[in-house]
């Protein structure tokens, strides 16, 4: 059976004569075949692959192919934070301490989101914690319940603890980067460690939970210890700044596309 990518390349390969750059925005791990299929059909200058922490070395590609690969993010920005790359405009985010919620999460639950559904059900039933803002919805109801960019940004920054939870198996944890960019504190489930997180952030046991018991302990601790929570966040932000700077990222992308 012919796959969609093969159909696409067969249709386009005789129509595109010039060199191209390709953005691979799959909500899954990229595999070498994704790149090889394009190489067979097009003259590709660059591949832009989502996920800042992706380990290109594991693809075992030739050095020539590896030089074509550049790490970026969904839409060269974020899902819920609008960027204007063309006009070099990015939201200016400062650390916020004006909290409205103890815990915040907003996102879809459907398909194989078993971890996400289990965690959110557990959190919503934590009777001793007030001001929990968990906005979860089905794929069919997303248009009714999904937050606007400003609502999402404000709620994230106004929460003492944000939850970062895996979606479908091997999906890309966009929220992880969004929360860091918004300078907000978070706890994440261990499934996201598949994305080389442990290679870029120390003390992961301080913000990663393996099970609901660990999640309970971390929530209980950080809601009672503001100083420890804020100190850990400052450490995580320093590490994140080494990985991602939006102005620098924009310049790298535009230099590749327009100045070579």
Three-class SS state of 33? helix
pLDDT, one tens digit per residue, over 63-91 is 888 889 888 876 566 767 877 777 888 88
Flag whether pLDDT at 125 surpasses 80: yes
Q: Return d(Cα 216, Cα 122) in angstroms, integer.
A: 9
- What CATH code is carried by the domain that includes residue 187? 3.40.50.2000
Full domain range(s) for residue 29: 4-72
Arithmetic mean of pLDDT, 118-127: 92
Burial class (CB in 10 A: 0-12, 13-18, 19+), 174: buried
Across the chain, mean pLDDT equals 82
Question: For strand 20-24 and strand 186-189, is the pairing parallel, antiparallel, or unpaired?
Answer: unpaired
Flag whether pLDDT at 57 surpasses 60: yes
Of residues 73, 48, 82, 49, the one with CA closest to residue 257: 48
- What is the reported pLDDT for 100? 96
- What is the reported pLDDT for 1? 42
Query: Pick the residue with more confidence: 204 or 213?
Result: 213
- What is the reported pLDDT for 10? 62
* Spatial contact of 140 and 117, defined as CB atoms under 8 Å apart: no
256 within domain boundaries: no
Considering the domain architecture, whether residues 36 and 153 belong to the same structural domain is answered as no
pLDDT, one tens digit per residue, over 2-38 is 456 566 666 665 555 668 888 887 666 677 788 888 8
- What is the reported pLDDT for 90? 81
* Spatial contact of 247 and 90, defined as CB atoms under 8 Å apart: yes
Considering the domain architecture, whether residues 134 and 38 belong to the same structural domain is answered as no
Burial class (CB in 10 A: 0-12, 13-18, 19+), 97: exposed
Considering the domain architecture, whether residues 119 and 197 belong to the same structural domain is answered as yes
248 within domain boundaries: no
Q: Return d(Cα 213, Cα 20) in angstroms, integer.
A: 50
């Amino acid at each position: 059976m012919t796959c969609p990518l093969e159909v696409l390349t067969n249709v386009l390969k005789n129509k595109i004569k010039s060199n191209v750059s390709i953005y691979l925005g799959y909500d899954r791990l990229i595999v070498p075949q994704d790149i090889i299929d394009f190489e067979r059909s097009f003259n590709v200058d660059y591949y832009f692959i989502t996920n800042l922490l992706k380990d290109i070395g594991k693809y075992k590609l030739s050095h020539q192919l590896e030089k074509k690969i550049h790490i970026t993010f969904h839409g060269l920005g974020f899902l819920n934070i609008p960027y204007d790359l063309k006009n070099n405009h990015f939201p200016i985010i400062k650390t916020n301490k004006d909290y409205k919620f103890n815990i915040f999460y907003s996102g879809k639950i459907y398909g194989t989101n078993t971890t996400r559904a289990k965690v959110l059900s557990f959190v919503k039933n934590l009777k001793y914690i007030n001001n929990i803002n968990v906005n979860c919805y089905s794929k069919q109801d997303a248009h009714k319940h999904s937050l606007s960019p400003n609502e999402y940004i404000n709620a994230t920054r106004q929460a003492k603890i944000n939850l970062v939870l895996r979606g479908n198996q091997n999906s890309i944890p966009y929220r992880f980067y969004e929360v860091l960019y918004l300078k907000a504190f978070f706890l994440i489930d261990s499934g996201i460690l598949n994305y080389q997180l442990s290679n870029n952030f120390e003390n992961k046991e301080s913000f990663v939970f393996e099970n609901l018991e660990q999640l309970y302990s971390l929530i209980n601790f950080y809601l009672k210890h503001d100083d420890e929570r804020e100190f850990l966040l400052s450490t995580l932000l320093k590490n994140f700044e080494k990985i991602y700077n939006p102005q620098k990222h924009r310049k790298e992308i535009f230099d590749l596309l327009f100045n070579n």
